[in-house]
Amino acid sequence: MRKPLPAWVDISIMPLINIAAAFVVAGIIIALIGENPFTALAVMIKGAFVYKGALGYTLYYTTNFIFTGLAVAVAFHAMLFNIGGEGQAMIGGLGIGFIVLSLDPILPPLLVILLAIPVAAIFGAIWGVIPGWLQARRGSHIVITTIMFNFIASSIMVWLLAGMLMAPGQMSPETRHFADGVSLMQIHHIGNALGWPMARSPLNLSFVIALIAAVAVWVLIWRTRLGYIIRATGHSEKAVIYAGHDPARIIMIVMAISGGLAGLMALNEILGVQERVILNFTSGYGFTGIAVALMGRNHPFGIVLASLLFGALYQGGAELDFEFQTITREMVLMIQGLIILFSGALALMFVPAAERIYGKLASADRSSDTRKGEQNG
Amino acid sequence: MPFAVSMSGICKRFGAVTANDHIDLNVLSGDIHGIVGENGAGKSTLVSILYGFYTADSGTTEIAGIPYTHNTPADSIAAGIGMVHQHFMLVPNFTVLENIILGHEGYKQLSKSMDQARHMLSSLSQQYGLDVDLDAQVGDLPVSLQQRVEILKALYRDARILILDEPTGVLTPQETNQLFDILRALKKQGVTILLITHKLREIMAATDHVSVMRGGRMIAHLQTADTTPDQLAELMVGRPVQVQKQWHKANKGAAIVSVKDVQLTRSKTQNLLSDITFTVHAGEILGIAGVAGNGQSELLNILAGIIAPTAGHISYHDHHIDAGNPADPQKIKSLGVAHVPEDRHASGIVLPFTAAENAALGYEKNVSGGYGHAFLSPQSLRARCAKLMQRFDVRPADPNLKSSLFSGGNQQKLVLAREMSATPSVLLIGQPTRGVDIGAIEFIHQQLIDMRDKGCAIILVSVELDEIMSLSDRIMVMNNGRIMGLVEQATANVKDIGLLMAGVQ
């Protein structure tokens, strides 16, 4: 007999089973090309956490995933599938570019940075709220429009970066460097300044902003009136109308928040690392955010953990590519793909079996209890 | 004579819930056999097992003396079992004929099968006195005729055993009598009928034998002629219940709700509501009777501010609302109007929410935030809910429990508690006891009467005529979006109201 799984199993055990299954399949493939899967796994783990600077790199990737994962999760609480994190992040980066490039000659760096942070969120929010409006007021499906908005954002980036924003005197589609000091401080600088020597890595203050965002999302969803209405919208629009709220308005608000979170991802890449706007700085993080949110069960805590896993995969995967001749970059992408497949698309595959096993365990428990009861009675 | 249906030792569990606990059921061939029980007693599960929707965990079934193990409805149809569902399974934009042959087309060439079916059906409808225009679009037919289409569909598939699940919920009293006439005609032709209902009046009127279920168990098998509604009610609930009227005369106050010329149009040609004008006084229950889908739901939603009327005025106390300037539900709420919606599961509560969360739905602003206006503290949500649960005897009294895990009656009590806690001067309430067990029905009715006695104006919409008649001071009957008549409690009788419901003035 099947029995619904308790929440703790659903949150902790099931994702682990999914990841394990992905690693088993990946291990088989690695064995098939003649490498030892266990050595490969060891290299990956060392590459992600142990080598000098590895942890910094892992956390730097993690930052991107936290932002895009949170973006997907917030929208999902209102049953909106925001596929547009990629485009929203690009436009967020564009916003940073606009504000910094126009103000860094006249304003002190700190002020420019403080302005750039909300601007990234606002630009992302605008790119999220337009599909939100189309869904809420015109009935255009959010999945279709957000995908389309990714293409539009990408084209706008090419047009601007190869055009009016392109730095003069060079050939690549990118802006000039930001003025000195206009960047989010990197963690190893802070560490070194405080007397804790750290290896060089791109990890910067946006990681802290990402963690604050995760807490803020938790508060929003579970501790505010707006979050309550957002969740109600996700479950039953009729109930929201009955309660006296306008679901269309809620949808637009949610998409603004979601887009804003995705837009903040640009902080890490543009203001934290590149210090200029470049093409394709989002490199798929927006899409991976969907898998991160799925794996994290749309809970900020789960999303931070899932982001850490994906960060480790990115960084450890790069190390794998570096250490093994036979394991190419494409191979690493395939392993990441398997993880996404098992923990995202196939997240529920093992649930029926687990329910059956749990049902058996539970009934075995109960019958032994009754037997004990009979003996005692 | 072998039994048409003989089920023995049927068990079916859903997770922790035992829906059917060692059920035995024997139905005589050519009998009209009723199964009564409250919501959740296991009636639907039992017939779903018979029809092949579910497989029993244990137990055996014999059809006409032959052991029978079926897995799917298709097997059951082949064995001569037909079912008319509570919610019809018809394609609205197909004709009657197309609907009947759907799934039994027979030939690849459609015209050939249609001709054959037409021939067969005309003899069938003659044989049983089931008149339907085979070329009418099902969506255009009144519900009572759609039901006949469902019956014909079963007979066309050679059903010798016909299961009807709550067939009278959508019918006027007169249409109900016609349905029973049809059932008797079927019985004469040797068809065995299983009638599932929660209405005792219908059991008494239509059946030969009756089986009573309670809490997943079979409680009694009786010959209908040997029993009384009081005895059946007691068996259903497990304790004596009062079936008599709870209504008593009360003091009417001033008119506080006034509705004038309200209209709602869907398209240029179709009016959902026309010329709706009435008033309701403080300390009065106005019951709105009518077959489901005759505009009552729309009217209730207009009164609650959920949909805006196309034309007309509504006033609560001294506050006027007109079609040009419609009010939203929050505004209406602020005028002292509470609303218990008809579709509890879609509107009244959010099923995956906890009871504590649902106890604040629409009243979030009244819950203390803890840190400020924008916040909503789980502690105060729980405290508020615990108080309401205690006052309205909601069980289990656990604010953290998911709302979908409460029984229908307790969900409804929670909604009622939430709305009544605002001490409204006007209460709009739709289908207050749909899917609610008898114990809770008594409680809910008593609450409504108490509120009326305290001076609340109550507008009650229900498809259960008994409920309307036992609670209302005045009864307003609607048909096709119009008010057919207003009847005082003192002069109300089922026959007149039934005619008004059918649109006969």
Q: Do B371 and B387 fall within a single domain?
A: yes
User: Sorting pLDDT into bands at 50, 70 and 90, what band is A375?
Assistant: very low
Would you state the torsion angle of the CA atoms of residues B320, B323, B329, B333, taken in this order, to the nearest 10 degrees?
Answer: 10
Q: Check A228 against B364: CB less than 8 A apart.
A: yes
Contacts of A231 in chain B (CB under 8 A): 350, 353
For residues A26-34, average pLDDT = 90
Q: Check A225 against B13: CB less than 8 A apart.
A: no
- Cα B18 to the center of its chain, rounded Å: 24
What pLDDT was estimated at residue B259? 94
Q: Name, of A250-264, B309-323, B349-363, B450-464, the range with top average pLDDT.
A: A250-264
Q: What is the pLDDT of residues B43-70, one digit of tens each?
A: 888 988 888 888 888 888 888 888 887 6
B357, B406 Cβ separation under 8 angstroms: no
Q: What is the count of structural domains for chain B?
A: 3
Higher pLDDT, A15 or B206: B206
Asked if the structure places residue B348 within a domain, the reply is no
Asked if the structure places residue B164 within a domain, the reply is yes
In this complex, the residue of B306, B364, B374 whose CB is nearest that of residue A241 is B306
B209, B195 Cβ separation under 8 angstroms: no
In this complex, the residue of B329, B353, B374 whose CB is nearest that of residue A244 is B329
Q: Do B97 and B110 fall within a single domain?
A: yes
Q: Do B219 and B254 fall within a single domain?
A: no
For residues A24-48, average pLDDT = 90
Kindly report the nearest CA distance between residue B21 and chain A, in angstroms.
Answer: 17
Kindly report the nearest CA distance between residue B200 and chain A, in angstroms.
Answer: 33
Q: Do B302 and B206 fall within a single domain?
A: no
Residue in chain A closest to B304 (alpha carbons) equals A242
Q: Check B329 against A243: CB less than 8 A apart.
A: yes
Which strand ranges, in their side-by-side order, compose the sheet holding B426-430?
B337-340, B426-430, B457-461, B284-289, B474-479, B482-488
CATH number for the domain spanning B497: value is 3.40.50.300
Q: What is the pLDDT of residues B86-122, one digit of tens each?
A: 778 889 899 999 888 887 777 777 788 888 888 888 8
Is some CB atom of chain B closer than 8 A to the CB atom of A238?
A: yes
Contacts of B375 in chain A (CB under 8 A): 223-225
N- to C-terminal Cα distance for chain A?
28
Contacts of B376 in chain A (CB under 8 A): 223-225, 227-228
Q: What is the pLDDT of residues A340-363, one digit of tens each?
A: 888 777 777 888 888 888 878 877
Contacts of B348 in chain A (CB under 8 A): 239, 242
What is the model's pTM? 0.82
Is some CB atom of chain A closer than 8 A to the CB atom of B488?
A: no
What pLDDT was estimated at residue A369? 47
User: Sorting pLDDT into bands at 50, 70 and 90, what band is A371?
Assistant: very low
For residues A128-148, average pLDDT = 95
Is some CB atom of chain A closer than 8 A to the CB atom of B12?
A: no
Q: What single-letter DSSP state applies at residue B465?
A: H
Is some CB atom of chain A closer than 8 A to the CB atom of B378?
A: yes
Q: Do B377 and B461 fall within a single domain?
A: no
Please return the burial class of B388, using the count of CB atoms within 10 Å of its CB with bins 0-12, 13-18 and 19+: buried
Residue in chain A closest to B377 (alpha carbons) equals A223
Residue A372 has pLDDT above 50, yes or no: no
Asked if the structure places residue B342 within a domain, the reply is no
Residue A14 has pLDDT above 50, yes or no: yes
Give the mutation candidate from B376, B379, B382, B401 for the A interface (greatest A CB count, under 10 A). Answer: B376
User: Sorting pLDDT into bands at 50, 70 and 90, what band is B244?
Assistant: low
Q: Do B418 and B431 fall within a single domain?
A: no
Q: Check B357 against A224: CB less than 8 A apart.
A: no
Residue in chain A closest to B329 (alpha carbons) equals A244
User: End of a domain among B389, B408, B423?
Assistant: B423
Kindly report the nearest CA distance between residue B138 and chain A, in angstroms.
Answer: 28
Q: Do B28 and B156 fall within a single domain?
A: yes
Residue A370 has pLDDT above 60, yes or no: no
CB atoms within 10 A of CB B248: 9
Contacts of A228 in chain B (CB under 8 A): 357, 360, 364, 376
Q: What is the pLDDT of residues A178-197, one digit of tens each?
A: 988 888 888 888 888 888 88
In this complex, the residue of B329, B364, B375 whose CB is nearest that of residue A223 is B375
In chain A, % of residues over pLDDT 70: 95
What pLDDT was estimated at residue A373? 41
Q: Check A232 against B365: CB less than 8 A apart.
A: no
In this complex, the residue of A1, A224, A236 whose CB is nearest that of residue B346 is A236
Sign of the dihedral through C-alpha B341, B345, B349, B350: negative
Kindly report the nearest CA distance between residue B10 and chain A, in angstroms.
Answer: 17
> How many residue pairs from chains A and B have C-beta atoms closer than 8 A?
72
Q: What share of chain B is helix, strand, coil (3-state, %, to 5)?
A: 35, 25, 35
Q: Do B52 and B35 fall within a single domain?
A: yes
Please name the residues in contact with B121: beta carbons below 8 A apart, sequence gap of 6 or more.
B97, B100, B134, B152, B156
Residue B36 amino acid letter: V
Total residues belonging to chain A: 377
Q: Do B78 and B189 fall within a single domain?
A: yes
Q: Do B128 and B220 fall within a single domain?
A: yes
As a whole number of angstroms, the distance between CA A195 and CA A186 comes to 15
Residue in chain B closest to A232 (alpha carbons) equals B350
B58 pairs with which residues across the strands? Answer: B11
For residues A165-188, average pLDDT = 88
Q: What are phi and psi of B357, to 5 degrees?
A: -70, -40
Q: Check B347 against A3: CB less than 8 A apart.
A: no
In chain B, % of residues over pLDDT 70: 98
B411, A239 Cβ separation under 8 angstroms: no
Contacts of B339 in chain A (CB under 8 A): 242
Q: Check B352 against A4: CB less than 8 A apart.
A: no
For residues A278-289, average pLDDT = 91
Q: Check B330 against A244: CB less than 8 A apart.
A: yes
Q: Do B91 and B172 fall within a single domain?
A: yes
Q: At what angle do helices A285-295 and A329-340 cross, to 10 degrees?
A: 40
In this complex, the residue of A3, A223, A235 whose CB is nearest that of residue B350 is A235
Is some CB atom of chain B closer than 8 A to the CB atom of A241?
A: yes
Contacts of B361 in chain A (CB under 8 A): 232, 239, 242-243
The residues spanned by each domain of chain A are: 60-300
B216, B223 Cβ separation under 8 angstroms: no
Q: Give me chain B's average pLDDT, please.
A: 87
Kindly report the nearest CA distance between residue A120 and chain B, in angstroms.
Answer: 24
Residue in chain A closest to B376 (alpha carbons) equals A224
Contacts of A1 in chain B (CB under 8 A): 13
Is some CB atom of chain B closer than 8 A to the CB atom of A176?
A: no
Q: What is the pLDDT of residues B111-160, one digit of tens each?
A: 888 888 888 888 888 877 788 888 989 888 888 888 889 888 888 888 89
Q: Check A225 against B374: CB less than 8 A apart.
A: yes
Residues 193-222 of A with CB under 8 A from B: 222
The helix (H) or strand (E) run that includes residue A106 is: none
In chain A, % of residues over pLDDT 90: 57
Residue in chain A closest to B360 (alpha carbons) equals A243
Give the mutation candidate from B301, B347, B350, B404 for the A interface (greatest A CB count, under 10 A). Answer: B350
Residue in chain B closest to A366 (alpha carbons) equals B16
User: End of a domain among B404, B423, B442?
Assistant: B423
Q: Do B332 and B405 fall within a single domain?
A: no
Is some CB atom of chain A closer than 8 A to the CB atom of B326?
A: no
What pLDDT was estimated at residue B373? 77
Question: Could you identify the residue written with the tokens 């060891």?
Answer: A42
For residues B239-268, average pLDDT = 81
Residue in chain A closest to B365 (alpha carbons) equals A225
Asked if the structure places residue B169 within a domain, the reply is yes
Kindly report the nearest CA distance between residue A245 and chain B, in angstroms.
Answer: 8
What pLDDT was estimated at residue B243? 56
Is some CB atom of chain A closer than 8 A to the CB atom of B362?
A: yes
Report the range of poorest mean pLDDT among B335-344, B399-408, B419-428.
B399-408
The CA distances from residue B425 to B245, B280, B303, B391, B476, in Å, are 24, 11, 14, 19, 20
What pLDDT was estimated at residue B504? 80
State which residues form the domain around B471: 244-336+424-505
Q: Check A231 against B375: CB less than 8 A apart.
A: no
User: End of a domain among B423, B444, B474?
Assistant: B423
